[in-house]
Structure 1
Amino acid sequence: MDGITPQLLALQLFTGLALGAIYVLLAVGLSLIFGMLTVVNFAHGAFFMVGAYVGLFATEKTGSFWAALVITPIAVAAIGMLCERWLIRPLYGRGIDYPLLLTFGLAYMMVEGVRIIFGKAGIPFETSEVLQGATNLGFADFPTYRLFVIGVVAALLVALWLLIEKTSFGLIVRAGARDPVIVRVLGVDVSRVWLIVFGVGTGIAALAGVLSAPLQGVSPEMGTSVLTIAFVVTVVGGMGSLMGAVVAGLLVGVVESMAVLFFPEAAKVSMFVIMAAVLLVRPQGLFGRAGLMA
């Protein structure tokens, strides 16, 4: 423990928050789709990966990282909506296994498609010059880009909360997640709501992909490990719970970051330890509802 100062602990905390912010985006998109559609989206990691590639392509074509941040979630959301409309929707009502298996196969198709178009080698992703370098936090310097990621995720979560809690569309989403039959009886086109929700969920995953790209580069396999993390965070927070996704994402990110400092060998295992501990106490997760998978 020698050499571990309060400044180092604070830096690791901020590093964990930046890492957790990416996890939050992944889990929020996954939870949003499951909470409304009851679809276990195994293609979520692939949409994350496609988002990174779309962001890379948009940055090269426009010369602007900022433009890529806007274009990427919109483009991938459109792809996600097409998948929901023509591939997933026909499977509603046939049991939870059918969409799961379809999205599992869809993920493989998306990865192979990217390999064919862009190749198998990883590609570096350069961000805007404004976001390069470090920012002085008073106690130490911290990478400016990681602070930017934390800020973007915080702003997005506020916007998502306002959408779900303060708008008529959000009311329909919340009601549809609890009882879609009643919502349909009231004259609401639930299918259109499902389409939009799936698009929003995949768009958020794509935004997570383009935000993480400058930190790790871009490769066809980048969505595989991320999918595991997304499901761990979602299970810890509670399937279908947006609040659970936020809390669990930040918790897993901070714990993993601190584990790197104190016990590096166990850093990658720490999230599974958290999941096991939570499930032993609350099988439905921190904020999940019992029986949701039934």
Structure 2
Amino acid sequence: MRISQDALRVAAGLALVAGVVGCASAVHPTYVPPEPDEDQFFLPLDEFKVPDYAVNYARDLITRDCLMEQEIDYPVVEINIDARGPETANAVARGIFNAELAAKYGYHAAPTDRFDRGLAIQVITEAEAVVAQHPESVAQCQDASRREVPFDGTPTAEELAFYIDVDRDEEILATIESWRLCMLATIPAESVAASPNEMPVSQDAVRFGIRELNLTQQPPDVTPEELTLAIVDAHCRETSGYAATYYAATWDLHLELIEEHLDQLVSERDTARRQEQAARDILAGRSSDT
């Protein structure tokens, strides 16, 4: 049995995606692509994704009420779904990495205003104990909450974006080699991955404490060693041309995929938007009752 609290997972990095309208597209006669935004690493498929944190938060609260009727106290982390997410993630929770953020956070995620992490750790620990004591009751209430707040999501957009890999393109391979040479000028070889997308390497990630974390653990402080590595990495991605080339190639591939799957993408997005708004309406109603 898993703890739901799914709202917390996505609340750390998501915000509603507002489509940015650009000029008419040659991709599809009815499709108008967004304007590129490399700073936020916003990509065309992002317009077809709908965040589910309002849905999951509503479900968690409904689960809590359901269990309360059975005299079971199921704590839920309080989330401000409209608060700012971490600046190291964009609107669809894709990581953002640049020189400015590297100097502040290294490879760590920035804090979020959506919930209190210290309090969340305490609440989730308590919720895990409730699940262990009442697994069937929790499962039944979670199932009921999903029926009350349905959400089909945007699986096509998620899957298409997940499987994209442009690192094998010849132009990008050339920038990767330039990035490695830049890195090796100041960084030990054992800390330089084969590609920027694989940074930091496994042993460094473990040492920096940015792998294997869950929501019941406080992330460790960023060390000077991590900051140094991240700053050099960000600098080399920029000066080698990797960052800009990778973004442009990924953008173009997104447009090709949208052309192939536009009808399905639009259908899933529109359904998910209606369901997400219904969840927000539930949350707004609960707020007005308190």
Q: TM-score category by the smaller chain?
A: under 0.3
Task: Compare relative contact order (CA 8 Å, sep 6+) and give the higher one, 1 or 2.
Answer: 1
Per the normalisation by structure 1, the TM-score is: 0.22
Give the helix-richer structure, 1 or 2: 1
Per the normalisation by structure 2, the TM-score is: 0.23
Select the structure of larger CA radius of gyration.
2
